[in-house]
Structure 1
């Protein structure tokens, strides 16, 4: 996903994967957590899940870092893109930068 959007199409923005709690997201037999990890690995910078799933998804992301399904570089790249966008949209308090 990320290679195609960024490499072939030249997209430079944030790739957002939306609402993995929908029924269609788990139809391939994968858990919500595994679907999120695979999406981040494939290039998603931000994944939207319902609040009640955040702790489970967070735990799975940490496990994926430990077992190699995700790399620190991939997560850093995603975080940098999201933070850069928030800064450019002035979504962070300006006192953080003084």
Structure 2
């Protein structure tokens, strides 16, 4: 039973990553993320070329926020999958109690 539970959590994470990648592969979403990353890259390159420390800090912070947003989105998907699984489990338990 423990192996099944550990396998289930691996499947949930794999499913969340798959959904996450599907969302990112939607053309408008992908284009927005690509353009945002391009803007950040240009800002970082410009800051390094001018040797401006404050702009470099802002650009690196923007990259950090960008990746934090993507990771947060993935975490929300994992939490949603867990929440849905718990709802299904509660519904089954409730139906079993109603049948008795």
User: Of Structure 1 and Structure 2, which has the larger fraction of its residues in helix?
Assistant: 2
Give TM class, smaller chain: under 0.3
**Greater CA radius of gyration, 1 or 2?**
2
| RCO higher in structure (CA 8 A, sep ≥6) | 2
TM-score, with normalisation over the residues of structure 1?
0.28
